[in-house]
Structure 1
Amino acid sequence: MAESTTPVARPQPKTAFVTGANGYIGFAVCRAFVRAGYRVFGLVRRLESATNLVAEEIIPIIGSISKDATFLDDLSKYTKTVDVIVSCTEQIPFEEHFEGILSFVQKLATTSNQNGVKPLVLASSGCKDYGTTDVHGAPGLAPHTEESPLQPTMEILHGRTYRSLELLEYTSLFDAAVIRPTPLFGYDSSYYGFAFEEAAAAAKTPESALKLHLDFNTILHGCHVDDCAEAYLALAQHPDRGAVAGECFNISGYRYETLADLAKALAAEYGLRGGVVPASAGDRALPFADLALGYSQWVDSSKIRRLTGWTDKRMLLAENLHVYRVAYEEAARKGHEGVLRVKERIAGALAGARK
């Protein structure tokens, strides 16, 4: 029997606008929304960054976030409405940057409202908003939930932690939710690239050992960046907007790992004869290690799992370290922007330590 050639009616494709579209989270979010059938617009600051977006069928919009930004004029040439706005950028200090975010979101939402669409804004913050938890095995250890008090331990995070919540107040123009991912891994590996770089360097030393001035019971509760992006999508597609709007959602892996788990995997992967071990008092401290590997935090993500059915699917960092390592090295070989950003920050930490 011949197949019918009568076209099947399909709903109008939805649109998503993602800031920081060439960043670690932003690029993954763009790809997830493209796969789901959205028409995705990605904001990048430089024309050179647009090629990666084009290759993934993301429409690049060139511009920078500020109160007087003009990139919305370019976006209006494509569409008068945006269903989902995802904020994946941050700058230090954050306050001025947030004013720019708020300005363009209000303008974009106003235009969308006038054309019959009330956007959902998904604002990226992070689980460091809660501060640290105790280490694995500590008495009374409990995870951070969305009800945990906000107490960021790093001063530079205060602006992002508290100002992001202001978006939840603009209920007439748009709906909003604040998203708090744990540290992410995969591809160019975010800050976990530090572990790969240091393990590779340690393998070339006579001791063939990586020594860390850290508690090996430190909780490393990561999540693959693609799983994280699918969580954003799950919230955007949830049929009950009211259950998403005005809420905060943690994103984390189904369980945590520890620094001891990662140490064992790194030693095996890089052939470190001396292993990855606790450092002695006289051993050199590694700048950046505290931030990359020493921030202990267990984060509960059952809220988004119960609401949307989202779950992480990718293997954990230590479970699949070889695959994540070679992906990182390939990204580094190609001069990937994400790898270069992390290396610049590590170099900055090293330079600061030498002063």
Structure 2
Amino acid sequence: MTSTSAKSVLILGATGSIGFDVALEFLRNGYTVYGLTRTEDNAKLLLKNEIIPVVGAVSDFEKWVPIAEKVNVVIEALADYSNLDTAQSVLNKFKEIKSTKNPQLVPIYTSGALVYGTSDKVVDENTPYNVSNNPFLTVRVGLENQYREIGGIVIQPSFVFGKKGSGSSLYYEGVVKNTDGNFEIFGEEGQWRAIVHITDLARLYYLAATKTDASRGQVFLGSAYYYKTADIVRSIAKESKKDVKAIKFIPPTPTNPMSYLLYVSNATSHQKSTNLLGWVPTQPSLIDAPTRYYNSWINNNSN
């Protein structure tokens, strides 16, 4: 194995919608970056960007645990909704590593702003969670608590926009595929959607990892703006030259577990991230620079 440097990070999910830009942020700041990825094609992408690939599934502990035993930071950016046990097994490995091999390891867990549930007020890290028996969110809350107990850090991104789009991609796809101007969105009338640019979010991970006196055992909301979901859809539709005849909000459906996440409506504050870490989002919002983000999304997602 290549020896690690004094400043090194391992990212689990390094070619994902969050992990890749986080990897680049650490790289820009002088870190040796290791990235776990599933395929050889993705490994080539990492190599092109000066990231050291580790090819394998997250369950292939023999592939990445030896690296985690030597780096400064490990970031869990897996976003695995298909197997609710995966994230727990990774955390158990972090606990083992910290207790036996690398007690100074800083583990960072990627949760999400939706754990606060629907609220008619702006939420922050002191707002009580409301997971409404959603299995995805319930598991996340339990993991957050365990990470904090071992001195880890929790980042709660809101819907990510910019480049490929991540969370915001759902709205771009819905607009581009729409043919009649009638849009259906999971949620209720007046729904709020908090958003953050991927570049700003990546910076938050870096600041949390390097300002550990302030960040260990803490939770940080990664959110820059919030808008009415209907306004986001209208902005994207205008860029794609689509008429909006009607926007209908619909309830979640049992056959679509993700619909229960999309149904949540909340607006979030990043004041804690600013106060403790000095994090200040710099990128214009999705609505303030619609052409830039629409063109980027189209070109990133074209076949």
RMSD over aligned CA atoms reads 2.6
Residue aligned with 2:61, SS: coil
Shift of 1:224: 0.6
Which of 166, 181, 200 is the equivalent residue of 2:176? Answer: 200
Over the matched positions of the two proteins, sequence identity in percent amounts to 24
Q: TM-score, normalised by structure 1?
A: 0.74
- AA aligned to 2:71 is V
1:219 counterpart residue number:
192
Q: Does 1:29 align with 2:29?
A: no
2:123 counterpart residue number:
144
- AA aligned to 1:183 is F
| Aligned counterparts, 1:263-274, within 5 A | 263-273=233-243
For residues 200-235 of structure 1, the C-alpha deviation after alignment (integer angstroms, 9 at most, x for no partner) is: 233xx4x5x133355452111100111111001111
Q: Does 1:236 align with 2:209?
A: yes
Cα separation, partners in 2 of 1:97 and 1:210, compared to 1, 3 Å: same
Contact 1:61-1:74 within 8 A present in 2 as well: no
Q: TM-score, normalised by structure 2?
A: 0.86
1:112 counterpart residue number:
102
- AA aligned to 1:329 is I
For residues 302-343 of structure 1, the C-alpha deviation after alignment (integer angstroms, 9 at most, x for no partner) is: 111001111111111122222212212212224xxxxxxxxx
5+ residue gaps, structure 1: 1-11, 135-141, 282-286, 335-355
Q: Does 1:75 align with 2:67?
A: yes
Which of 302, 320, 332 is the equivalent residue of 2:301? Answer: 332
Runs of at least 4 residues of structure 1 off by over 6 A? none
5+ residue gaps, structure 2: 251-255
Cα separation, partners in 2 of 1:276 and 1:236, compared to 1, 3 Å: farther
Residue aligned with 1:231, SS: helix
Distance in 2 separating the partners of 1:38 and 1:332: 29
| Higher share in strand | 2
2:217 counterpart residue number:
246
**How many residues get paired?**
291
Distance in 1 separating the partners of 2:183 and 2:81: 31
Cα separation, partners in 2 of 1:180 and 1:276, compared to 1, 3 Å: farther
Shift of 1:292: 8.0
For residues 23-50 of structure 1, the C-alpha deviation after alignment (integer angstroms, 9 at most, x for no partner) is: 1111111011001111111111222221
2:253 counterpart residue number:
none
Distance in 2 separating the partners of 1:44 and 1:289: 24
2:56 counterpart residue number:
63
Cα separation, partners in 2 of 1:297 and 1:89, compared to 1, 3 Å: same
Shift of 1:86: 0.8
Residue aligned with 1:24, SS: coil
Contact 2:10-2:67 within 8 A present in 1 as well: no
Cα separation, partners in 2 of 1:105 and 1:276, compared to 1, 3 Å: farther
Q: Does 1:323 align with 2:299?
A: no
For residues 88-139 of structure 1, the C-alpha deviation after alignment (integer angstroms, 9 at most, x for no partner) is: 11434655213321243235433334xxxx12111111111111113xxxxx
Contact 2:22-2:205 within 8 A present in 1 as well: yes
Distance in 1 separating the partners of 2:264 and 2:77: 22
Query: Looking at CA atoms only, which structure, 1 or 2, has the larger radius of gyration?
Result: 1
Distance in 1 separating the partners of 2:261 and 2:295: 19
Cα separation, partners in 2 of 1:24 and 1:276, compared to 1, 3 Å: farther
Shift of 1:83: 0.9
Which of 262, 277, 282 is the equivalent residue of 2:246? Answer: 277
For residues 138-161 of structure 1, the C-alpha deviation after alignment (integer angstroms, 9 at most, x for no partner) is: xxxx22211111221333221122
Contact 1:95-1:159 within 8 A present in 2 as well: yes
Shift of 1:15: 0.4
Shift of 1:247: 1.1
- AA aligned to 2:184 is L
- AA aligned to 2:139 is G
- AA aligned to 1:72 is W
Contact 1:267-1:276 within 8 A present in 2 as well: no
Contact 2:175-2:233 within 8 A present in 1 as well: no
Distance in 1 separating the partners of 2:9 and 2:201: 17
Contact 1:95-1:163 within 8 A present in 2 as well: no
Contact 1:186-1:327 within 8 A present in 2 as well: yes
Cα separation, partners in 2 of 1:267 and 1:106, compared to 1, 3 Å: closer
Distance in 1 separating the partners of 2:162 and 2:261: 15
Contact 1:133-1:144 within 8 A present in 2 as well: yes
Cα separation, partners in 2 of 1:318 and 1:280, compared to 1, 3 Å: closer
